[in-house]
Amino acid sequence: MLRGFYTAASGMYAQQRRTEMLTNNMSNANTPGYKADQSSMRAFPEMLIRRMGETTVPTEKGLNLPVNAAIGSLNTGVYMQEAAPNFLQGSLQQTQRKTDIALLDTNMPVAADGNKGTVFFTVLNGAGETRYTRNGNFTIDQQGYLTTPDGYYVLDDNSNRIQLQSENFNVNEEGYISENGIQIARLGAAFAANPYTLVKEGDGLLRQTGQPLESAFNNPAAGFQFQQGAIEASNVDISKTMTDMTAAYRSFEANQKILQAYDRSMEKAVNEVGKLG
């Protein structure tokens, strides 16, 4: 019966973590470029239960030999193995603002493992490290540098900060930035053959766990383009997220009732059955 406690509790904990993930998705439904997390549930490894004992061999010295009798297998519950982002392209929203720039995946290569590649803007975080984002809702700071809403510098294709004279600039489909008819820089773009190696850090930034991502301009198989005056919306499906949150809550509630039933059974065993002895 005690194993039942652990099994029901593991189900409650897994659904709690899933609800927290879905709540975070819902809260970022209006965040440009946000990639919704998706959960992966997995059962704990199955265990084989054996009864350990010993038998006495009728010898002169009374030899005792260990004996293991197989009882059967036991699955000890479920857990949320991971929360991985869904890198599906979000819808395009027209804003007509010069500082809003969207990245469009037009023809991304697919790796042997079935993962589809994607591209990201390159930015410089507060510690001076390169990070990646799909949030093109940029702005211009007091020094004229192109930055993210959180003040991180947007980098060009040479990993340099981009300084502008005003918001009166143009970006073409290939990422070239021009002011007053003069080309001054090209927006940086990094290509991830397997974007699932990236780790979310908050503020819409992602970090590469291994070697830095290569420039997308060096990969002829990566088809993408920039679009000024538009942003990529989050890819959160609000209706599906609400349905999943309800299902997770109901599952949590069902495991809670099972746990309560086990608790009542244990109480009865201690207070009533124990008196018969």
Q: Does any domain span residue 57?
A: no
Q: Please state, in angstroms and rounded to a whole number, the distance separating the CA atoms of residues 120 and 224.
A: 10
pTM, to two decimals: 0.79
Alpha-carbon separation of residue 137 from 113, 156, 230 (angstroms):
32, 16, 8
- Tell me: do 129 and 25 sit in the same domain: no
- 277 residues of the chain, pLDDT tens digit each: 566 777 888 888 889 999 999 999 999 999 999 999 998 877 766 666 777 776 776 666 667 767 777 776 666 678 787 788 999 999 999 999 999 999 999 888 887 777 889 999 999 998 889 999 999 999 999 999 999 989 999 999 999 999 998 888 999 999 999 998 899 999 999 999 989 889 998 888 999 987 889 999 999 989 999 999 999 999 999 999 999 999 999 999 998 898 888 888 877 777 776 565 5
Alpha-carbon separation of residue 55 from 50, 67, 93 (angstroms):
15, 7, 76
Q: Does any domain span residue 66?
A: no
> Taking Cα atoms as reference points, which of 275, 262, 253 lies closest to residue 16?
253
- Tell me: do 129 and 151 sit in the same domain: yes
Q: What's the domain range around 130?
A: 92-232
Q: Please state, in angstroms and rounded to a whole number, the distance separating the CA atoms of residues 119 and 66.
A: 62
First to last CA, the chain: 20
The number of folded domains in the chain is 2
Q: Does any domain span residue 54?
A: no
- Tell me: do 12 and 122 sit in the same domain: no
- Tell me: do 198 and 267 sit in the same domain: no
